[in-house]
Structure 1
C-alpha cells in the first residue's frame, strides 16, 4: 500500500470513528433549536436519556475499535449488536424529532463494516425507514398523503442505498482482487529473483567453461601452428641434411646444405612470427595467391617434384583468418604428399567462386583408402584431422578423394570473407 492509499485509509478510519459523534451532535443542536417551533412533541427527559445512551454506546464501540487493527476489521456479532442498538436509539429519537435522522444516517457509512453478508441490506433498509419517516414529517404518518410520501421516500432511499451498497461491494471485490494480484506478483517477483540468481550462477559457470574451452582451443591451434611451421621446417632440414650426407661430392652436398640453411631461416621466421601474431610469414607482404604460388614453387624445388599452381575466378583480398587457414591447409597437404604420396606431379588450384573459396590439391602418388585411415577428429591429431579442423573452424569443410594407386585429391571449401578495411 502506497502513501496515498494509507492516507485514504486513515481518513476513512477517522470518519467511522468520529462521524457518529458528529451526526449525533448535529441532531441534538437542530432539535434544541427547533423545540416548540415544529410540533412541540420533544420530550427532553426521555430524549436526554437516549442521547446519553447513544454517547455511552459510541464510547463503548470506540474502545472496542481501538483494540482491533484498522485493516483487520470485519463484520462481527459485536458490530451487528452495535449497529442494531444504535439504529434503535436513533429510530426512537427520530419519533421525537425528525432531526435525529442525521444520527440514523450514520448506518449508511459503516454498515459494510458492521453487518455480514445479506444482513447488510436489511440493516440499510432499516436505516432507510428511519430517514424516510423523518423526511415525510415524522412517524407514524398521520394521513394518506404522508403515507404516500413515506412510501415514495422509502423506495427512493432504499434504491439509493442499494446502488451505494452494490458499488461498495464491487469496490471491495476489486480491492480483494488487487490484493490477490499484488500477492501473486510478489510471489512471481520472488520466483523471478530466484531465477535471476540461478541465471547469474549459471552464467558464471558458462563463462568458466567457455574460458576453459577457449584455452583448450588455443592450445590445439598453437600445436597445429607449430606442427605446420616449425615441425615441417625441421623435417625438411633433416631430409636435406640426410641427402647431403649421402651426396657423391661436395658440390651436390653444398646444394642440399644451402636448402637446409634456407629452411632453417624460414623456420626461424615462422617461430618469431608465432610469438607475435601467429599470422603466416608468407602472408606478411603478399596476398594468398602470391603466397601459395611461392610456397608451391619452393616446395617443388626442394622436394624435386613438378608442382603447379593455378588461380581461377576473380582474385579478391581475403580476411586474414581465411587466408591463413587456406595457406596452412596447402602447406600440410604438400607435406603429406612429400612424406607419403611418392608423387611425381602435384597441382594446387585456388578458385574464387562468388561467396566461396576452394583450395584443391591433387597428386599422382600412390594414394590410399580414406575409409581405412583412423578418424581422429577432435583428438588433437594433425594431418587430415588438422586440416579438417582448420576448415571447420571458419565454417568450411574438407573433402578427400583417394584410391590406392590412383593418387589423392583434397578439396577445402570455405566462405569468402573479404579483408577488413
Structure 2
C-alpha cells in the first residue's frame, strides 16, 4: 500500500472518530459560554448517536460497493449530525470538516460535489459566528465565507483531479516502459539464440572450408611433389648414364624436401597456432617476417589505430586472409615488395595486403577458384562468414591489393 493509499485509509476509517473526539472536547470546554443546559443534553445525545452511527458504518463498510447507496446514506446522516451539532455549538465544525476528506471516496463524482457544497455550508456557518446567522452582518459574513469555502473546495477538487490524472499518466507510462523492457528482453534472448546458432553454423562452415582448402592445397603441392618424385625416380631407373640418373635422384630428393615442407605447413594451418600465445598484431608481424624470410621478398607490417583484443573468430579470419594473400603473392605475383597493414577503426578492423608484382585482371579469375572456394574465393568466403567484406584491386603489370574489412567484435 502506498503512502497516499494509507493516508486515505486512515482519513476514511479513523478520521471521523478523531475529529468527533476533538470537536467534543473543544465544544465541552466552551459549552458554558455558548450553550444552554438543554442544548448541552441534546448535543450529548447527538454525539452518542453519531458515534453509534460510525460504529454501524464500520460493520457495513467492508461489503459496501464503491460510490453506492450505502455510502450515500452514511455520508448524508453523518452530515446531518455534524450540521445539527454545529448549530448548537460552532466548534463542532471540527467534526463537519470530515466531509472534505472522504466525499470523493464515498459518493459518485456528481454527488461528491453536492457533499462538498453541503459541508461548505456547515463550515461557513461556524466561521461566521454560528447558525442561524444573527443579523445582517452575520448573514453577509455567512455568504462571503460560504463563497470562499466553495471556491477553495473547487480549487482543491481541481488539484486532486489533476493529481489523479498525473498518477494515471505516470502509471500508464510505467506500464508501457515495462512492456517495452519485456519486448527488449525477449528480443535480446532471441538475438542471443540466433547469435549462438550463427556461431555454430560459422564453425561448421569454417570446418568445411578448411577441409576443401586443405584438400586443394594437398592436391596442388604435396600430390604434385609426390608425382614429380615418382617421375624423377622412374627416369633415374630407366637411365643408363650414372650422371643423368644421379641428377634425377637429386631432383627427386629436392621435390621430397619441398613436399615435406608443404606437408608441415599444411599441418600448421589446421589451426591458428600463431594466436595461441600472441595477440593478432604480434602474430601478424611474425607471420610477415617468416614469410619474408622464406620467400626472399621484402615485406613491411604496419598497425594503425588502437589495438584491441578481438573475438577469436575475427582474429582467426584476419590472420588466415593475410596468410592466404601472402601465399598468393609468393606463388603468383613475382613481387619485390609487399606491405601488410592492420587497421583498427571505430567499429571495424581491416587487413590490407599490397604487392608490386605482375598483377592480373580480377574479372578473369580462374573459374576453379570461384567454384572451389580456394585462393581469392576462400578469402572472400572467410570475410563474408563474419559479416565482413573482401575487395581486390589489381590490373596486369600494376601489382595487387586485397582488403578484408570485418566488424570490430571485442573479446568477450
Which band: TM-score by shorter chain? 0.7 to 0.9
SS at the partner of 1:37?
A: helix
> Where in structure 2 are the equivalents of 1:6-155 lying within 5 Å?
6-40=2-36, 43-67=39-63, 74-155=66-147
Say whether residues 1:414 and 2:411 are aligned partners.
no
2:334 paired residue number:
348
**Deviation per residue, 1:82-113 (Å, 9 max, x gap):** 21221122112211111211111110111121
1:328 paired residue number:
327
Unaligned runs of 5+ in 1: 294-310, 334-346, 364-368, 381-385, 402-408
Q: Is the 8 A contact 1:391 1:398 kept in 2?
A: no
Provide the aligned C-alpha RMSD in A.
3.7
Q: Is the 8 A contact 2:359 2:394 kept in 1?
A: no
Q: Is the 8 A contact 1:233 1:263 kept in 2?
A: yes
Q: Is the 8 A contact 1:370 1:400 kept in 2?
A: no
SS at the partner of 1:75?
A: coil
Q: Is the 8 A contact 1:19 1:106 kept in 2?
A: yes
1:377 paired residue number:
370
Cα separation, partners in 2 of 1:162 and 1:141, compared to 1, 3 Å: same
Equivalent-residue separation in structure 1 for 2:120 and 2:78 (angstroms): 14
Q: Is the 8 A contact 2:79 2:99 kept in 1?
A: yes
Q: Is the 8 A contact 1:332 1:387 kept in 2?
A: no
Equivalent-residue separation in structure 2 for 1:220 and 1:267 (angstroms): 19
Q: Is the 8 A contact 1:387 1:398 kept in 2?
A: no
Cα separation, partners in 2 of 1:222 and 1:203, compared to 1, 3 Å: same
Equivalent-residue separation in structure 2 for 1:362 and 1:170 (angstroms): 77
Equivalent-residue separation in structure 2 for 1:264 and 1:322 (angstroms): 28
1:397 paired residue number:
392
**Deviation per residue, 1:15-74 (Å, 9 max, x gap):** 221111111122222232222312537524433332233122211222233447xxxx84
SS at the partner of 2:9?
A: helix
> Which structure has the larger Rg?
1
2:300 paired residue number:
316
1:406 paired residue number:
none
Greater helix fraction, Structure 1 or Structure 2? 2
Equivalent-residue separation in structure 2 for 1:351 and 1:375 (angstroms): 28
Pairing partner for 1:358 from 352, 355, 359: 355
Give the total of aligned pairs.
356
